[in-house]
Structure 1
Amino acid sequence: MDIVVLVSGRGSNLKAICEAYKTEKIKGKVKLVISNRKEAGGLSVAQEYGIPAEFHDPKAFSSREDYDRHLVERIRQENPDIVVLAGYMRILSDYFIDSFEGRLVNIHPSLIPAFKGIKAQKQAVDFGVRFSGCTVHFVTKELDSGPIIVQAVVPVNPDDDEKTLSDRILQYEHRIYPQALKWISEGRVKVSGRNVEVEGARYGELPVNPALEDF
């Protein structure tokens, strides 16, 4: 399964994905990494793994949709099976989402539908929940609300702040994102409306559901 990855930040999830491809846990390749931020660490991660990495400046375009149309054209040149958002911090236009419908995947640092949008970990701490976590999901036009592939549950401790909870959640992000992509690459992920089933997976086990296999 060939993918294109969009990043905005340090690229830690990208690194976990690249490592899964390097070790051939996922067959195929990461064909291109694109960032909307010139200083994004994810660009350096891509170069470390020998993957083409490009910065595309949103300021060069008159609107969000014009920028997204440009990105869609560039991504289509690579003909990926899946487009992966790995810490991509821009809200996508309807045009972009329609262009890759059913082939666009994201990870979010909460148990969606809870705590959508930015600073989800801070939202969880401020709200006083006992558990948070992370979610790999298909992207739809409603923010952080698409069909859920896999979630990991992380306890929120009384002394947690945004950073400590974020760090603990991130450990699971690095495990469930490559796992979800592997399931997709194997043709095991079936979507029916809002419901996602991973064929052959074990269900009902915490802290990760469906249960991890190779990661």
Structure 2
Amino acid sequence: MTWVVLFSHPSDFTPVCTTELGRIAVHQPEFAKRNAKCLAHSVDDLKSHVHWVNDIKSYCLNIPGEFPYPIIADPHRDLAVLFGMLDEEQKRDAEIGKTIRALYIISPDHKVRLSMFYPMSLAMSFKYCHDEILRCLDSLQLTDKLKVVATPANWTPGTKVMILPDVTDEEADRLFPKGFDKVSMPSGVNYVRTTENY
């Protein structure tokens, strides 16, 4: 079952969007390692997308081979409205009807598990955002697999996870036979338990 990273951009032939789509294309192998497919969305038509992809490939010279993911053509902005990027009234105005920058991570059961929204004037920082998208994918996939853990602030793969509060210590002993740590809190409530044995 495949995960999907769907990201939307205001329109074709815009300088900021060109850099963003190029960065995702360059890092496509990292998404493939996580069984995730990338899918772009823009409110322009298919012919426009074809010409824009050529520009992106020309600008971002290190895109390996063919352009690695499709771009949805949404000239009537119907998907943009369905995904909450535009209001129904906005979609008829060509200038206002450009979408915000949005990113969704969709799990194999077709549920939106994470969303990020940026205004038209602000590009995603793919130096950091790329790592964050992959970190989020890793966390979602891990917590789906284990069911009884959550990932703390600044978590990265291989570091400690937190055992959910509704898991008893006895259950945690059974689920994590190599052990877990209890963090003492001033309140006396021992609700923080961590493990790297997962």
TM-score of the alignment, normalized to the shorter chain, above 0.5: no
Bigger CA radius of gyration: 2
**TM-score between the two structures when normalised by the length of structure 1:** 0.37
**TM-score between the two structures when normalised by the length of structure 2:** 0.39
